Structure 1
Amino acid sequence: MNQGDILNLSQEAIKTILMVSAPMLGFGLLVGLLVSIFQATTQIQEATLAFVPKIVAVLLSFVIFGPWMMRVILNFAKNLFININSYL
């Protein structure tokens, strides 16, 4: 295994991590922005008001995108195990 293989493998791993985490981070960011706008307009400064909706949004996005995320992770793992001979 040479440096090019290591770089390709790490690049694919990082790409997979970013793809899998993007829906949950996006939903959390969007809900956090909406809650922040709501708090600014109503001047309600409650910490749980910002925290609980983000958790619900992340869990909801996990439920919605869960099967797709599992496919992406399984494809990465399958390719990793198929090409294990070249890595050793």
Structure 2
Amino acid sequence: MDTTTVIDVLREAVSVALELGGPMLILSMLVGVVIAIFQAVTQIHEQTISFMLKLIVVILVLLIGGSWMLTTLQDYTKEIFALIAA
């Protein structure tokens, strides 16, 4: 295994991590911003409101896109095992 192969594997690992974590992080960030604006307007400063809504959004994203995430992770793992075997 040479350095270009290692660099390609690491680059693909970062790409898969961003691809899998990106939707959850972006949606929870958007929910956090919307809740923060709502709390600033209404002057309700309860921390559990934003936490619970972010948790619900992350769970919904996992329920909706979980099979796609698992398939992507399995494909990447198969590629890694194929490189190890070669």
State the TM bucket, normalised to the shorter chain: over 0.9
Q: Per-residue deviation at 1:81?
A: 1.3
Tell me which residue corresponds to 2:56: 56
Render the CA deviation track for 1:6-31: whole Å, top value 9, x for unaligned.
11111111110110001111110111
The percentage of aligned residue pairs carrying the same residue is: 35
Q: Per-residue deviation at 1:41?
A: 0.9
Q: Per-residue deviation at 1:83?
A: 2.0
Q: Which has the higher contact order (CA 8 A, sep 6+)?
A: 1
Tell me which residue corresponds to 1:9: 9
Q: Give runs of aligned pairs for residues 69-88 of structure 1, distance below 5 A.
A: 69-86=69-86
Structure 1 unaligned regions, length at least 5: none
Write the distance in 1 (CA, Å) between the matches of 2:63 and 2:34. 21
Give the TM-score taking structure 1 as reference length.
Answer: 0.91
Give the TM-score taking structure 2 as reference length.
Answer: 0.93
Letter in 2 for 1:63: L
Write the distance in 2 (CA, Å) between the matches of 1:23 and 1:46. 25
Structure 2 unaligned regions, length at least 5: none
Tell me which residue corresponds to 1:41: 41
Superposed CA RMSD in Å reads 1.0
Write the distance in 1 (CA, Å) between the matches of 2:44 and 2:14. 39
State the aligned residue count.
86
Letter in 2 for 1:42: T
Runs of 4+ residues over 2 Å off in structure 1: none
